[in-house]
Structure 1
Amino acid sequence: MAPKKGILARLDAGEVVIGDGGFVFALEKRGYVKAGPWTPEATLEHPEAVRQLHREFLRSGSDVMQTFTFYASDDKLENRGNYVAQKFSGQKVNEAACDIAREVADEGDALVAGGVSQTPSYLSCKSEADVKAIFKKQLDVFVKKNVDFMIAEYFEHVEEAEWAVQVLKGSGKPVAATLCIGPTGDLNGVSPGDCAVKLVKAGAQIVGINCHFDPMTCLETMKLMKAGLEAAKLKAHLMVQPLAYHTPDCNHQGFIDLPEFPFGLEPRVLTRWDMHKYAREAYSLGIRYIGGCCGFEPYHIRAVAEELAPERGFLPPASEKHGSWGSGLEMHTKPWVRARARRDYWEKLAPASGRPFCSSMSHPDSWGVTKGHADLVQQKEATSEQQLKDLFQKQKENTSH
């Protein structure tokens, strides 16, 4: 078998690289991940579920199998009563994730990306050396398993992302870095343009945005990052992996502040046709690594692959069961459904919510806490009843304002 073309070779050639979608949300809905800790022990407890989701993304057009290692650092795996660090260890979780991702990637022309994300240690104001040691421990597994490239993703503070990039560069492998920020910048107020500059100077060859905001908001942030890089005369490939939820009412910290997070977000899910628009606008902006994060299911990725099929020169295998712009409906029994088998119908559709008294927007929680705040400090013990009572009271006070 000929060696696969690497991530930078693909991007340097102008190829579209389609990422995968969201794992923690998809597997939580399927009963394999617990909401709250959002940690990936399913790689050991339910490897068949993780493997199947990888396969569905591959079949839908994904060029990258990102290891299911989100929040798989030891400090997170023991935070607030989590049992995973003691029962399995972060190393075992990460090793299993790499093995599963490689197995599926080798079923196609996909690459394996090892991923690290923000840590409770950083939010608890531990030292740069302590935080970097956590990343290094994860990196050792990725190097041992010989992943194809690295991703530092889901960082609210660019400083921590810089530390992650600096560690990941030690692998000698290409490094991508994405922040979960909006147009207003990171939680310390660093602008998107300045964030992009900092990430490239730290050593990232691919930079961008993931999670926390919907595709259109993320693309607005990407425009600012691109402008920042151009002003600084720096070059990097651009990458975007947004939410699959409409979040126009989010504030600075994104969808986790929405009252619907995480169990009432379904009315906000983007349709496959929304994904066509997202993919085209991302491509037009010059972004060539286009994927998704929380809420992205395989059919969303298929829509991205179908929209960009003219540029890629092929359709994914999953499109065998999906007619272009609803053309499969031509075989439907009912004539009024057959009449929907056309592009202009689906492009112009404004879907109803089916909820007569549902508000169109939410009022996000705005607690304003970030790195160093007492509410975020790491603890090994489970959250106590008194801590919960204090939080309930604070939430009540915030709501009354």
Structure 2
Amino acid sequence: MACLKKGLLERLSEGVVVGDGSFILTMEKRGYATAGAWTPEACILHPDAVRQLHREFLRNGADVLQTFTFFCSDEQLAHVSDGINNKRNLTADGINAAAVDLAKEVAQEGGALVAGSVSPVSQVSFGKGKKYCQDAFRQQLTIFKDKGVDFLLGEFFNNVTEAEWAIETMVEVGVPVAFTMPLPPSGDILGVSVAECAVRMAKAGASVVGVNCIYDPAISLKSIALMKKGLEEAGLETYLMVQPLGYHTQDPGIEKYRTYAALPSWPFAMEPRALTRIDVHRFAREAYELGVRYIGGCCGFEPHHIKAIAEELAEERGRLPPSAPVGGSWKSLGLSHIKYCSKKTNWEYWENLKPTTGRELDAFTEFMPDD
């Protein structure tokens, strides 16, 4: 008799779950998505590219593969074009179905969980009220329910009211719900505090709550600390997760640079701000020590960043990622014929390194100052 795969909550109760990383941004950089539209039609048009990125995250230590369904609604797909504005005949249901099949296919290669990724509606749709929004969420959820994903993940919701509406709908599917918002320490887009957002998400039915995207690890961890405090004060036992942006997103004290979208370099000149693997090692350790047990990345988090999380937490997880040599990636530098590489074969060298970060201060020497 086949052994049943452990679910999300069981894995979290036992230790760390490593998430995956960037999909829509990475697919655009690789030539399989369109900037501006940011839609996942590649699931149908370029399935091998989607399959390969899933496989790279899995090989580098991801325990979860999210379906590539970000912004997948018929409303959003209306913006997709081929060549010079020749609209393709694509539907959200068709893309979502293909996305689940691709994620499940690759997940079976390494025992990973498949998360059905649920996206927010547009501002126009939100203005039409709760029933309209929840019907839109149910359209996304139908495919996930029919195809049997392991859990549901809401992400990129910047309004806690919409988050509550989505969670209330997601729990109807009968699988665990994880939910994240792109929150700075100041709160959601309407000024609701981070602590209150966390409490409201948990009370709506989410078993895992946290922060994703828009802000870098340093800012995201500050928000997570506020979430943790709010949940504790409310007497709620809810797992925490964090999947931040893979870039250093602001310079201290420059208000207009608080989000990635406000940066002049977004989205085509962000490389100088990209996190190094060492940054991600530090992020993973700080997140773990803060009590976060679901740790991954969002836009800008490449497979090698996920590898850094998995290597940093190898002792806690009881294993290295499949791609890592024995002892960790730095050990393999001993294979080099270049003599000065030998001093780099220990973690202390990398731990003490201070690489260029794209910001005035190192991201992990201190949290960002309060407003």
TM-score (norm 2): 0.91
Question: 2:117 is paired with a residue of what secondary structure?
Answer: strand
**Residue ranges of structure 1 left out of the alignment (5+ in a row):** 362-401
- Aligned-pair CA distance for 1:345: 2.1
Report the counterpart of residue 12 of structure 1 in structure 2.
Answer: 13
| Structure exhibiting the larger radius of gyration computed from Cα positions | 1
Spell out, residue by residue over 1:263-285, the C-alpha distance to the aligned partner (whole angstroms, 9 max, x if none): 11101111111111111111111
What is the alpha-carbon distance in structure 1 between the residues aligned to residue 359 and residue 332 of structure 2?
34
**2:334 pairs with 1:330:** yes
- How do residues 256-335 of structure 1 correspond to structure 2 at under 5 angstroms? 256-320=261-325, 324=328, 326-335=330-339
- Aligned-pair CA distance for 1:350: 2.1
**2:80 pairs with 1:75:** no
- How do residues 2-401 of structure 1 correspond to structure 2 at under 5 angstroms? 2-13=3-14, 15-79=15-79, 87-121=89-123, 125-249=127-251, 251=255, 254-320=259-325, 324=328, 326-352=330-356, 360=360
Give the direction of change, closer, same or farther, for the CA distance of 1:197–1:122 in structure 2 (3 Å limit): farther
What is the alpha-carbon distance in structure 1 between the residues aligned to residue 169 and residue 105 of structure 2?
26
Letter in 2 for 1:107: E
Report the counterpart of residue 367 of structure 2 in structure 1.
Answer: none
Letter in 1 for 2:291: G
What is the alpha-carbon distance in structure 2 between the residues aligned to residue 257 and residue 96 of structure 1?
33
Give the direction of change, closer, same or farther, for the CA distance of 1:230–1:194 in structure 2 (3 Å limit): same
Whether the 8 Å CA contact 1:217–1:248 is kept in 2: the answer is no
Spell out, residue by residue over 1:66-112, the C-alpha distance to the aligned partner (whole angstroms, 9 max, x if none): 10001012222225879899611000000000000000111111111
Give the direction of change, closer, same or farther, for the CA distance of 1:141–1:18 in structure 2 (3 Å limit): same
Alignment RMSD: 2.1
Report the counterpart of residue 398 of structure 1 in structure 2.
Answer: none
Give the direction of change, closer, same or farther, for the CA distance of 1:127–1:86 in structure 2 (3 Å limit): farther
Whether the 8 Å CA contact 1:199–1:207 is kept in 2: the answer is yes
TM-score (norm 1): 0.84
What is the alpha-carbon distance in structure 2 between the residues aligned to residue 52 and residue 79 of structure 1?
26
Letter in 2 for 1:37: A
- Aligned-pair CA distance for 1:344: 2.4
What is the alpha-carbon distance in structure 2 between the residues aligned to residue 208 and residue 251 of structure 1?
23
- Aligned-pair CA distance for 1:339: 2.6
The alignment of Structure 1 onto Structure 2 pairs a total of residues equal to 355
- Aligned-pair CA distance for 1:340: 2.5
What is the alpha-carbon distance in structure 2 between the residues aligned to residue 66 and residue 53 of structure 1?
11
What is the alpha-carbon distance in structure 2 between the residues aligned to residue 35 and residue 324 of structure 1?
35
